[in-house]
């Protein structure tokens, strides 16, 4: 699926000195497809141990690719939609975009890591705006 006119699947990632993604950003979230990398997802999921899997910061349905910078060790329930989850937030955005392809959703995703230098974020903070409105925040505990 191609993105809406005037938008693309541009995602910007910032990493820290240890190569961990600390920011994933898009000015215009858009629907689309991207390739997955089962090996990256598996390797990243193993960083978290039991109960974790490689979760995409920008999911496949938003053109988020399978590269390492777009994937963090994420609790399975957080990644797959139990309760107030990252997955369910993505579904809310998907519904908005399907209902109105011109809706503008700007997204910042910030994984926060423990001070000991671990590779598994202890929480994932998401800030987003819809059509330039007031920012909304979600914080997901990941451990």
Q: Give the number of other Cβ atoms within 10 Å of residue 120's Cβ.
A: 20
More confidently predicted of 64 and 50: 50
Q: 12-141 domain in CATH 3.40.570.10?
A: yes
Segments making up each domain of the chain, as ranges: 12-141
Q: What tokens does 124 get?
A: 């994932």
Q: How far apart are CA 9 and CA 1, in angstroms?
A: 11
Specify the pLDDT at position 44.
87
More confidently predicted of 99 and 39: 99
């Amino acid at each position: 699926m191609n993105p809406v006119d005037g938008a693309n699947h541009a995602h910007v990632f910032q990493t820290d000195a240890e190569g961990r993604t600390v920011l994933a950003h898009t000015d215009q979230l858009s629907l689309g497809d991207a390739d997955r990398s089962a090996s990256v997802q598996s390797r990243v999921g193993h960083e978290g141990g039991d109960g974790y899997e490689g979760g995409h910061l920008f999911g496949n349905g938003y053109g988020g690719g399978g590269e390492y910078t777009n994937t963090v060790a994420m609790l399975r329930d957080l990644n797959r939609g139990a309760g107030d989850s990252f997955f369910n937030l993505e579904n809310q955005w998907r519904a908005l975009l399907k209902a109105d392809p011109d809706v503008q959703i700007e997204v910042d995703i910030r994984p926060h890591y423990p001070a000991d230098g671990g590779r598994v974020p202890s929480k994932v903070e998401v800030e987003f705006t819809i059509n330039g409105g007031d920012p909304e925040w979600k914080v997901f505990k990941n451990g």
